[in-house]
Structure 1
Amino acid sequence: MNGSVWKVIGAALVLTGGAALASAQPGPSGATGPVEAGPVEVGVVEMSLQEIPRVVTAPGHAVAFQEVEVRPRVGGVVEEVLYTPDHLLEVGDPLFRIDDSSYVAAEASARASLATAEAQLPVMQAAYDRAEQLAGRGYTEAEVEAARASLAEAKATLDAARAALDYAQTELSWTTMKSPIAGRADVATVSVGDLVTAGQSDALTAIVQADPIYVDIKEASTRILSVRKGFADGTLQPNEGLKATLTLENGEVYRGTGQLVTAGTTVSTSTGTVTIRFKFDNPHHVIIPGMFVRGEVVIGTMKAYLVPQRAATRGNSGKLTAYIVGEDGTARQVILEDEGSHENAWIVREGLSDGDRLIVDGLSTLRPGQAVTPVAAIIDEDGISRDADTSAVED
């Protein structure tokens, strides 16, 4: 190998060694190694205790305010259907007319029997009065007692005749079947010419009153115990008069609030829930009996921190964690104890203190102990972080 080749190789070794030496020069602290990156800029929100409504969200279903099945109280042939299905009925509106010819005859017979009894009573009264006046002077004591018994029998016959007429008239009135409640009637199960019997098992129609309407909300018994504990230890302040709002099956929020009717007193052995009933005005019949809904009930208020959901993560262990800016200017991870959510934030009671600067932006590559430069930020209604200075300019 000639001398020129060795010269080229030597020059390359000198250059390589120089580069390696340069990379191993001590940094500002005197230690050798790569120079570390500076602090990471992060968006922060200062934490403070807030009065937060404690909202319970639970499934439920609608129940008719009143519902009846209409059955005949007398038998006969249906002569007329007097209502239109699904039209609003008032109490006493006619539904069906049953052939009343036999009941008209029975009422006339009862009226005649009453007239006979009314005519007999004065005769029996006069006979008794005469016998009592002439007792011992033509009437024996036995005859007087017989007259008294005949008078009592005449009075009883008159009372029975009056009762028979009342019942005959009642049965006659039952031939026109009327609505016992206000509501909407289903399609009739009979038509003109059908024979019906008194007290039959098959209903002729059903009437449902859905304004107002009940909504039964199913709440887990474990959460009820938690709420009661909060009331007992003072961490939760109860509201006066529970009210509920509804979200319908299509996601629409129902206009109007429900008033508490009754809270359940037993726990379902199959679902572990307690039924709480609310009453809603339903003038437009938007809520239909049997419809499934989601109810929200504000049961009280509590003092807690609102942590934006985007600023916290829940690990495999179920614990909720977030980052705050430590006193030394580094990111410090904290474990949070949450009690549900409110809008786009977690409700946190433990793990934070007033004045803590919660990191809400720049979390993707953040590590515990990493130096950070905090920049004030705000979280809008959609849960999106924005720079506080920029937002102020936009406003």
Structure 2
Amino acid sequence: MPKFIKWFARALAVSVPVALGVVTVAYSDNLRKPPAIKETSRPTVAVRVVTLAPIEVVPRVTGFGSVEPAREWRAVARVDGEVVEAAPDLANGEVVSEGTMLLRFDDTDFQLSLAQIDAQLGALVVKDQTLGASLGIVTSDLELSRAELTRQETLVEQGVATQTRLDTARRAELAARAKVVEVENQLSLNAAEREVLKAQRAVIARSLAFTQIKAPFDIRIGEVSAELGQVVTRGQTLVTAEGIEAAEIAAQFSLGRIGPLLRTMDEGATVRDLKARVRLPAPGHTVMWNATVDRVGEAIDARTQSTVIVVRIDAPYAQAEAGKRPPLRRNTFVEVILTAPKRKALVAPLDAVRGGKALIVSAKGTLEARAVTVGYTIGDIAIVTEGLSEGDKLVVTDPAIAVPGMAVKPVEDKKVLAQIAAAASGKGGK
């Protein structure tokens, strides 16, 4: 190899690494800096909102309870006797009208006792007639005796008659008076005996009335524990029944929900002024009954802080329709809805104002937190009394993706708005 070429190769072997080192040192500051970041614009997040406006609200509160008859009845034997007749409809579940004879006992002994007393009363009438005739006779005899006594007294004063004849006249007058008193006393005794017999007759007649048991009002028969030929004793329960003219539901209501409901009404309004409906879920549909608030329970449940409000439904059996509206029977569990007069208010989904906080979309298109006051709630909606105004765009999107201050694009949720309006008016299922 020529010497020149060898020399040139050695020069390159030394100069190239040195040159690379110099270049590396020269550009080391630039190598430490990160690459420039290219600016990008984030897309605006869309959030679902409802624009608030006063809507018609039917303030209401719900409670639950079981159906009970407004009146119950027990037929208790008031006399001893054998059952000799029973009504054909005397069976569990049968409905009978007021005045229907249900059971009749053997009344032979009572009838005989009445006949005996009537005979004694008849005998007293005859005695009174006889004594009346005797009284007339002895009264006439007394008048003659008194006249004779007066005549003898005059004769004695004139010295014509003796004292002996005067004494005889006096004894005759006393004897006649005694006979009158005796007959009058006998008449008085007869009158007293007549009153005793009448009282005895009244007692027996009353007992005789107890030999028939009749329905005191329209009833539905419950348990029957008497049958033909059975000998019953006084005090034995023979039939249980319940009235069908009305049903009652003693429903439990939270005090914390009843108070706000009353505050929506005029001053001085009470629970009795609320309207009531009874709701029974049935397969495929819901059955409703109109009711009235009858009374408020006295005691407060210490554990739940609830009170009992009793509502009444008139003629529940008459309102029954086969396949559509079942009769309200004992122990049926139902929902009771109490409503106040309708009014306009700002209504929001309960989840959007939970905890007293809400998010709205401001005029700048950003999220803004608001503190709100909820007057009362109805199901899944809340009636807002403070913190929100008409025209506010309330965010109903999941709060996990909504942060105060972030720029958003409000999208009106018409479905939620319709649900709010339906629930507020009472057409949303409750």
Same fold (TM over 0.5): yes
Match of 1:262 among 290, 295, 300: 295
**Which residue number in structure 2 is paired with residue 392 of structure 1?**
none
- Aligned residues of 1:249 and 1:292 also touching (Cα < 8 A): no
**Which residue number in structure 1 is paired with residue 249 of structure 2?**
215
**Which residue number in structure 1 is paired with residue 45 of structure 2?**
40
Check 1:79–1:240 CA distance in 2 against 1; reply closer, same or farther (3 A cut).
closer
**Which residue number in structure 1 is paired with residue 346 of structure 2?**
305
The CA deviation at 1:140 is 4.2
Q: Residues of 1 paired with 2:294 and 2:272: CA distance?
A: 14
**Which residue number in structure 1 is paired with residue 280 of structure 2?**
248
Match of 1:21, as an amino acid?
A: P
**Which residue number in structure 1 is paired with residue 8 of structure 2?**
none
**Which residue number in structure 2 is paired with residue 122 of structure 1?**
129
Q: Residues of 2 paired with 1:151 and 1:365: CA distance?
A: 109
Tell me the SS of whatever aligns to 1:147: helix
- Alignment of 1:329 with 2:365, yes or no, is yes
- Aligned residues of 1:182 and 1:209 also touching (Cα < 8 A): yes
Q: Residues of 2 paired with 1:148 and 1:262: CA distance?
A: 63
Check 1:342–1:328 CA distance in 2 against 1; reply closer, same or farther (3 A cut).
same
Tell me the SS of whatever aligns to 1:204: strand
**Which residue number in structure 2 is paired with residue 32 of structure 1?**
none
Q: Residues of 2 paired with 1:360 and 1:135: CA distance?
A: 116
Alignment RMSD (CA, Å)? 3.6
Higher mean C-alpha displacement, 55-64 vs 222-231: 222-231
Q: Residues of 1 paired with 2:134 and 2:308: CA distance?
A: 71
Tell me the SS of whatever aligns to 2:288: coil
- Aligned residues of 1:110 and 1:168 also touching (Cα < 8 A): no
Tell me the SS of whatever aligns to 2:42: coil
- Alignment of 1:75 with 2:70, yes or no, is no
- Aligned residues of 1:55 and 1:296 also touching (Cα < 8 A): yes
Q: Residues of 2 paired with 1:377 and 1:115: CA distance?
A: 96
Q: Residues of 2 paired with 1:227 and 1:61: CA distance?
A: 23
The TM-score normalised by the length of structure 2 is 0.72
Check 1:384–1:98 CA distance in 2 against 1; reply closer, same or farther (3 A cut).
closer
The CA deviation at 1:244 is 1.2
Match of 1:192 among 219, 228, 231: 228
Q: Residues of 2 paired with 1:374 and 1:222: CA distance?
A: 35
The CA deviation at 1:336 is 2.8
Tell me the SS of whatever aligns to 1:159: helix
**More helix as a share of residues:** 2
Give the structure with higher Rg (CA): 2
Match of 1:58 among 50, 59, 63: 63
- Aligned residues of 2:61 and 2:378 also touching (Cα < 8 A): no
The TM-score normalised by the length of structure 1 is 0.77
Higher mean C-alpha displacement, 131-140 vs 71-80: 131-140
- Aligned residues of 1:74 and 1:197 also touching (Cα < 8 A): yes
Q: Which runs of 5+ in 1 are unaligned?
A: 28-34, 386-395
- Aligned residues of 1:69 and 1:207 also touching (Cα < 8 A): yes
Q: Residues of 1 paired with 2:293 and 2:58: CA distance?
A: 18
Q: Residues of 1 paired with 2:288 and 2:264: CA distance?
A: 30
Q: Residues of 2 paired with 1:125 and 1:276: CA distance?
A: 70
- Aligned residues of 2:277 and 2:291 also touching (Cα < 8 A): yes
- Alignment of 1:350 with 2:386, yes or no, is yes
Q: Residues of 2 paired with 1:326 and 1:71: CA distance?
A: 76
Match of 1:22 among 4, 16, 36: 36
**Which residue number in structure 1 is paired with residue 188 of structure 2?**
152
Provide Cα deviations, 1:12-69, integer angstroms capped at 9, x if missing partner: x99x96994232x5x4xxxxxxx45132222322212334222011122222121111
The CA deviation at 1:208 is 0.7
Q: Residues of 1 paired with 2:380 and 2:304: CA distance?
A: 29
**Which residue number in structure 2 is paired with residue 182 of structure 1?**
218
Q: Which runs of 5+ in 2 are unaligned?
A: 1-12, 146-174, 321-325, 422-430
- Alignment of 1:112 with 2:119, yes or no, is yes
Aligned length: 361
Tell me the SS of whatever aligns to 1:63: strand
Higher mean C-alpha displacement, 134-143 vs 236-245: 236-245
Tell me the SS of whatever aligns to 1:277: strand
Q: Residues of 2 paired with 1:246 and 1:273: CA distance?
A: 19
